[in-house]
């Protein structure tokens, strides 16, 4: 208190009215990019919870999930599944799944959007695989939904978390 009084007297501190108790910050504004990312974050939460129904809530039923996988031996495969099959393949288990986008680029044009990002997928905190995610999204009735996701998948050359 003495230091504040000395600084005030020296003109080095501008007195400011105290914040009124109970005054909250203004609500965060939902950006277009945040709206696009909402179903992607919902999909990742559903994967972590291993909840197929929650995945289906984030996607358009007529879309799909496609993985372009590169094995440790260099063998390459491409597999496509519909969303119902993808969600049904998610089984309960003790392992903790987590997927993290590392540098998402979001492009929006009207009611379509694309998100492209390197990702890291971990199981129980250990890197299981990595690659690049590509999401196609559409907005219907004001809500973004994932139409398709395509991702590359490799188990070698992955960055640490």
Q: For residue range 94-128, what is the model confidence (pLDDT) as tens digits?
A: 999 999 999 999 999 999 999 999 999 999 999 99
Q: In this structure, is residue 138 part of a structural domain?
A: yes
Q: Are strands 143-154 and 112-123 parallel, antiparallel or unpaired?
A: unpaired
Q: In this structure, is residue 36 part of a structural domain?
A: yes
Domain span holding position 107: 32-154
Q: In this structure, is residue 25 part of a structural domain?
A: no
Q: In this structure, is residue 117 part of a structural domain?
A: yes
**What are the pLDDT digits (tens) for 141-150?**
999 999 999 9
Q: In this structure, is residue 15 part of a structural domain?
A: no
Mean pLDDT of the chain: 87
Write the CB contacts of 156 (distance below 8 Å, at least 6 apart in sequence): 72
**Total domains present in the chain:** 1
Distance CA 53, CA 110 (A): 28
**Per-residue model confidence (pLDDT) at position 160:** 79
Average pLDDT of the segment spanning 152-161? 89
Are 117 and 44 contacting, i.e. CB atoms less than 8 angstroms apart? no
Q: What is the CATH number of the domain that holds 106?
A: 3.10.450.50
Confidence category of residue 5, pLDDT binned at 50, 70, 90: low
Q: Are strands 143-154 and 126-140 parallel, antiparallel or unpaired?
A: antiparallel
Distance CA 43, CA 34 (A): 14
Q: In this structure, is residue 80 part of a structural domain?
A: yes
Q: In this structure, is residue 98 part of a structural domain?
A: yes
Q: In this structure, is residue 3 part of a structural domain?
A: no
Confidence category of residue 76, pLDDT binned at 50, 70, 90: very high
């Amino acid at each position: 208190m003495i230091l504040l009084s000395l600084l005030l007297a020296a003109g080095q501190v501008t007195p400011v009215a105290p914040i009124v108790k109970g005054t909250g910050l203004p609500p965060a504004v939902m950006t277009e990019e945040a709206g696009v990312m909402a179903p992607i974050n919902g999909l990742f939460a559903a994967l972590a919870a291993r909840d197929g129904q929650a995945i289906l809530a984030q996607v358009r039923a007529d879309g799909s999930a496609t993985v372009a996988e590169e094995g440790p031996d260099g063998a390459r495969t491409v597999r496509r599944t519909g969303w119902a099959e993808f969600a049904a393949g998610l089984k309960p288990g003790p392992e903790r799944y987590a997927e993290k986008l590392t540098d998402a680029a979001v492009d929006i044009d009207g009611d379509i959007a694309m998100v492209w990002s390197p990702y890291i997928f971990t199981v129980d905190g250990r890197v299981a695989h990595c690659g690049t995610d590509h999401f196609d999204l559409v907005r219907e009735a004001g809500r973004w939904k994932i139409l398709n996701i395509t991702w590359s998948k490799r188990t070698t050359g992955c960055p640490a978390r």
